[in-house]
Structure 1
Amino acid sequence: MKVRTRFAPSPTGFIHLGNIRSALYPWAFARSQGGTFILRIEDTDLERSSQAAVDVILEGMRWLGLDPDEGPFYQMQRMDRYREVLAQMRAKDLVYPCYMSVAELDALRERQMAAKEKPRYDGTWRPEPGKTLPPVPEGVQPVLRFRNPTGGVVAWDDKVKGRIEIRNDELDDLVIARPDGTPTYNFCVVVDDIDMVITHVIRGDDHVNNTPRQINIFRALGVEPPVYAHLPTVLNEQGEKMSKRNGAKPVTQYRDEGYLPDAMVNYLARLGWSHGDDEIFSREQFLAWFDLDHLGRSAAQFDEAKLRWVNAQHLKAMADEALAPLVAAHLAARNVQADDRLPALCGLFKDRCDTTVALADWAVRFYAPVQPDEAERDKHVTEAVKPAIATLARLLADCAWTKEGIAAAIKQTLAESGLKMPQLAMPVRVLVMGTAQTPSLDAVLALCTREVVQQRLGHA
């Protein structure tokens, strides 16, 4: 059996990290098993679905490298197929029309709750041998309800939660088509999973209540349901379910904030799955290790500080030439044009940074004017040190513009002025880079142009 998984988001809000984890695991399982990963957009909620939300789904998945093998498929483009299956179900007496109005259904539920019963449809319009149905009301378009099995249980072995059994008596007859004939969510999902030959459904545990209903529809259509794995919720830093309402950011915002896609995959993978004590791993290692047997059963909590740490580790390990285009994009957004120094700049500063935005904050100082911090300038650029700065500027005008040549000029300045290295380096850093804290001074100056260094030292 070839593995076929799917990610089936609803474009009713911008996709966040909690959502995208439900794409990561089916993608990883398909890749690890040599299977097929399918993207399906469940857009039947016309009032709340938006093209902007679809765009963020597609953009976020593209950024993270979670490319589908098939799709995206859109449920709204499959309506003819759903109606075809509904007609087949009517012909097989698997569904029946129900004329109970919304007001009647509400009143029924109120009576049930008053009697401390579980609110549910009571089967008023379900045809049974010997049963007399109420008269059909005039001018009322019925819904179609699925004949849920009576008696027995519906059960499955969940790859995360273990064995789950639900008594059929707890499930009422599900509405699978509205009065205007449009099919409902649980029905569409089953038809899609059958047509797309889905073997494993890996999704959030907010769908657990839908699963027994979907399994019964699968079996009514003569198809064995797929393997299910229901993932625990991702909580935000306050311990609440991650959601846009609770401040979750669109996935694409992390890209804009300078996170690396491989670091995001690494961090998200650990939000509900583990491989021993391994914290930092590549995408290739993740795919080699991933299986459904090590999915966690407890809710995972998002921690932005941990995410930044993971990102910093990937940033440090990334080749300077690969980092440079990412940093160049941030510079371009600030109307700053980078040049061939950028890979070396990335190499010099990446150990100090946890995002590519932070790296761009350093790089921009080499391409655009800097404004020294006034407090640091007052502290370090004193009258006593200005003669030494002038000496260094004079020596830098003629030295070889290499790290070694600049180091020699600094050494000669120290000898002539009688200063210690920090007494000279701090004010030079403030003038040239705008801050007293930088990597090795000779390495920093060597990556500036001679003209820029002379100009900035002239502001002493």
Structure 2
Amino acid sequence: MLRFSQSLTKEMSISDLRVAIFNHIVSKQSNEKLIIRIEDTDKDKNIEGKDKEILELLNLFSIDYEGVFHQSDNLKYHQKLTMQLMGQKNAFACFCSDVKIEELKQEAKKKNKPYEYDGFCQTLSDETVLNVNSPFIVRIKKPDENIVFKDLLKGELSFKPSSVDSFPILRQDKTPTHNYANAVDDMLFDISSVITSEDNINDAAKQIHIRKLLNYDKEIEFAHIPNINIDSKYSSVKQLIDDGFLPSAIANYLVLLGNETPKEIFTLEEAIEWFKIKDISKEAAKFNIEKLKEINKKHLLNIDNMRFSKILGFADDDIGKLAKLFLNENSTIKEIKEKIDLIFAPKSTCEGFEEEFVELKLALNDAPFIESFSEFKEFLSKKTQLNDSKLLKPLTYILTGQTKLQGIELEEVYPLIKNYLGEITK
């Protein structure tokens, strides 16, 4: 069993999506189930509606999962196991205020040392704890020896007791902290492999420590994926979708990034056949928006014309062909849609060709349906007595919303819009 965890306190990032995609691929390769875990225990920071958005994005990328689970559903287990840990003296109530903890952090900073809890509350007697009326959190007992585990990408890792420390497992409202909830939930769901970001390496040591104290001895296989160096304006998955990138192209690029692949353009289904997670680059990969645009353009060129048309709000094979014409200078759905919208937008005049514009509009209103562009052009020339640029410049603007087309000719555009002339020239 694999799991992909996503918090309700933030946007799904490109790095998050890459982890989800790798979990999807590996689950298919190993014929194991994948579950989606919604981290929702930090109630004060949860963003309303974010869980729905997470699932919509995963579905958009065809991430196949067995079920969806909210961590808050397991609250009774988190609390029950906490009581077990406390009864065994493997966890303890901590009454230290936020001010006191901040003082400890500042003292460590002055000494140029990592912060470590001083263990004061761990020495309190049971009688003292019973007589304290102040709110408290619960901390885990610091490990007595190094926490050692193997990572598929990073090899053997070892964490000193001081780096794991006596970290909190329950908040004052008795909800579990991130590491505690994940450690317990991985036990409850019998998780065998954890593919996650390398930002979570320290968390892995803490979660292993928790499970050891709970006498859970199943060894979980870890793979901590290197980060992606990315400009913050491109870091949100939703933003890339809104900017007009195809999910298939984004997924293609994220698998390609920091990986050797048999070809550059592929689908997730194809990647399942040859992808090897152990071969991913161990260095952070650099996200290149221009490379993504290049890949997106190739995916758009490959999709069915009718599907392209429907993405743009039509149901016409010709509109799909027209959209592909504009791919010579554009690379996203958003950019293409802007070009299509210009074609159908009202035009009141054409700067520099105001009189010619009026004459052409009148002629177009009288024009019969004409199949070929050459005959169409000839009809307008005879009707208006306009030729060369005086004809083509304002005509190009009326038909496309642009005074100059880049890399394509009006005679290529006309056959694909001739059925819409009445709407375009009104």
TM-score (norm 1): 0.78
Is 1:199 aligned to residue 199 of structure 2?
no
The aligned counterpart of 2:293 is: 308
Question: What pairs up with 1:218-257 in 2 under 5 angstroms?
Answer: 218-221=211-214, 222-237=216-231, 242=232, 247-248=233-234, 250-257=236-243
Q: 2:307 aligns with which of 322, 326, 330?
A: 322
SS at match of 1:9: strand
CA distance in 1, matches of 2:29, 2:340: 39
What amino acid is the match of 1:433?
T
Deviates more, 1:354-363 or 1:181-190: 354-363
Residue 431 of structure 1 deviates from its aligned partner by 3.5
Residue 154 of structure 1 deviates from its aligned partner by 1.4
Question: What pairs up with 1:203-222 in 2 under 5 angstroms?
Answer: 203-221=196-214, 222=216
CA distance in 1, matches of 2:356, 2:12: 50
Is 1:46 aligned to residue 39 of structure 2?
no
Considering only aligned residues, what root-mean-square deviation do their CA atoms show, in Å? 3.8
Deviates more, 1:191-200 or 1:137-146: 137-146
SS at match of 1:193: helix
Is 1:283 aligned to residue 283 of structure 2?
no
Residue 74 of structure 1 deviates from its aligned partner by 1.1
SS at match of 1:15: coil
**Cα deviations by residue, 1:425-456 (Å, 9 ceiling, x for unpaired):** 55532342233316343342233347837995
Residue 250 of structure 1 deviates from its aligned partner by 3.8
- Whether the aligned pair in 2 keeps the contact of 1:373 and 1:434 (CA below 8 Å) is no
| Structure-2 change in CA distance of 1:225 and 1:184 (3 Å) | farther
The aligned counterpart of 1:447 is: 416
- Whether the aligned pair in 1 keeps the contact of 2:139 and 2:170 (CA below 8 Å) is yes
Task: Point out where structure 1 has 5 or more consecutive residues left out of the alignment.
Answer: 329-336
CA distance in 1, matches of 2:409, 2:234: 39
CA distance in 2, matches of 1:28, 1:141: 45
CA distance in 2, matches of 1:230, 1:50: 27
Give the percent of matched residue pairs that are identical in Structure 1 and Structure 2.
24
Residue 367 of structure 1 deviates from its aligned partner by 4.0
Residue 197 of structure 1 deviates from its aligned partner by 1.8
Is 1:295 aligned to residue 263 of structure 2?
no
| Structure-2 change in CA distance of 1:358 and 1:373 (3 Å) | farther
Task: Point out where structure 2 has 5 or more consecutive residues left out of the alignment.
Answer: none
- Whether the aligned pair in 2 keeps the contact of 1:158 and 1:228 (CA below 8 Å) is yes
Deviates more, 1:437-446 or 1:74-83: 437-446
CA distance in 1, matches of 2:210, 2:279: 30
Is 1:171 aligned to residue 164 of structure 2?
yes
Deviates more, 1:337-346 or 1:209-218: 337-346
| Structure-2 change in CA distance of 1:318 and 1:146 (3 Å) | same
CA distance in 2, matches of 1:410, 1:119: 78
**Cα deviations by residue, 1:142-166 (Å, 9 ceiling, x for unpaired):** 4332233313x21222222222111
Q: 1:26 aligns with which of 8, 23, 26?
A: 23
Q: 2:54 aligns with which of 57, 68, 71?
A: 57
Q: 1:96 aligns with which of 85, 92, 95?
A: 92
- Whether the aligned pair in 2 keeps the contact of 1:311 and 1:355 (CA below 8 Å) is yes
CA distance in 1, matches of 2:181, 2:420: 67
CA distance in 1, matches of 2:118, 2:423: 86
SS at match of 2:182: helix
TM-score (norm 2): 0.83
| Structure-2 change in CA distance of 1:268 and 1:374 (3 Å) | farther
**Cα deviations by residue, 1:22-63 (Å, 9 ceiling, x for unpaired):** 222212221233222211111111111112333332222222
| Structure-2 change in CA distance of 1:414 and 1:197 (3 Å) | same
CA distance in 2, matches of 1:220, 1:189: 15
CA distance in 2, matches of 1:113, 1:226: 34
The aligned counterpart of 2:249 is: 263
SS at match of 1:88: helix
Residue 198 of structure 1 deviates from its aligned partner by 1.6
Question: What pairs up with 1:153-192 in 2 under 5 angstroms?
Answer: 153-192=146-185
* Corresponding pairs, count: 422
Is 1:147 aligned to residue 132 of structure 2?
no
Question: What pairs up with 1:95-114 in 2 under 5 angstroms?
Answer: 95-113=91-109
**Cα deviations by residue, 1:95-118 (Å, 9 ceiling, x for unpaired):** 233444444444455555555554
CA distance in 2, matches of 1:147, 1:156: 19
Residue 91 of structure 1 deviates from its aligned partner by 4.0
The aligned counterpart of 1:437 is: 405
| Structure-2 change in CA distance of 1:343 and 1:116 (3 Å) | closer
CA distance in 1, matches of 2:279, 2:81: 37
The aligned counterpart of 1:359 is: 336
**Cα deviations by residue, 1:328-378 (Å, 9 ceiling, x for unpaired):** 1xxxxxxxx765643443354444431222322333355443466526x48
Residue 326 of structure 1 deviates from its aligned partner by 0.5
| Structure-2 change in CA distance of 1:318 and 1:120 (3 Å) | same
| Structure-2 change in CA distance of 1:454 and 1:256 (3 Å) | closer
- Whether the aligned pair in 2 keeps the contact of 1:231 and 1:272 (CA below 8 Å) is no
Residue 135 of structure 1 deviates from its aligned partner by 4.4
Residue 209 of structure 1 deviates from its aligned partner by 1.6
CA distance in 1, matches of 2:229, 2:415: 47
The aligned counterpart of 1:11 is: 8
